[in-house]
Amino acid sequence: MIISIIVAIIICAFAYRIGGMSKEEARKKLPWFPAFLVRGFTRDLVCMLTVMAWVYFFLPRVENSLYFYSAVLMYGAMTTYWDRFPGCKGEDNFFMHGLFIGLALLPIAYGSGLWMEVIARAFVLGFLMHVWCAIFSNVDMEEYARGGFIALTLLLLIPGFI
């Protein structure tokens, strides 16, 4: 299971960063990467699919429709940074971004009974994203870490981990 988390961290970190790069930046930093995949859609889809695959294989099984609902919610949460949220003054709100990515698994909590785990992960994910981005201003460090945190915090979903 730990190996699966490490693989998920690498996939999510890379996809999250690729999704935040411009095509010019990707050509300089990752010239081998296909340019047509350098877009926000890659970030949103790959991170969501990675999390949902991990949840499907490592958490108690739930009805298939609950995976679908969680996937749709997570995709939506991946696409917004809450910069229009009161008090943000047009700046990205990484706490809310992480919180809602985590809360996207509430349908899974409903089916599995992992309410405490899902809610704890959501708050930890929001906190990690917020604090990391408050400390660092390097876009590479920020985005690789935020993507990695999405997968790293999956550990909190393991029953009995918290």
Coil, strand or helix at 81: coil
- For residue 113, give the DSSP letter: -
Contact 55, 157 (CB under 8 A): yes
Strand stretches in the chain, DSSP E: none
The number of CA neighbours under 13 Å toward the Cβ of 72 is 6
Q: Which residue has the tokens 């590479």?
A: 140
- Whether 137 contacts 114, CB under 8 Å: no
Q: How far is CA 113 from CA 36, 93, 154, 157, in A?
A: 40, 29, 16, 11
Give, for all 162 residues of the chain, the pLDDT tens digit: 789 999 999 999 999 999 888 888 888 888 888 888 888 889 999 999 999 999 999 998 999 999 999 999 999 999 887 666 666 565 778 899 999 999 999 999 999 999 999 999 999 999 999 999 999 989 889 999 999 999 999 999 998 776
Distance, C-alpha 55 to centroid of its chain: 13
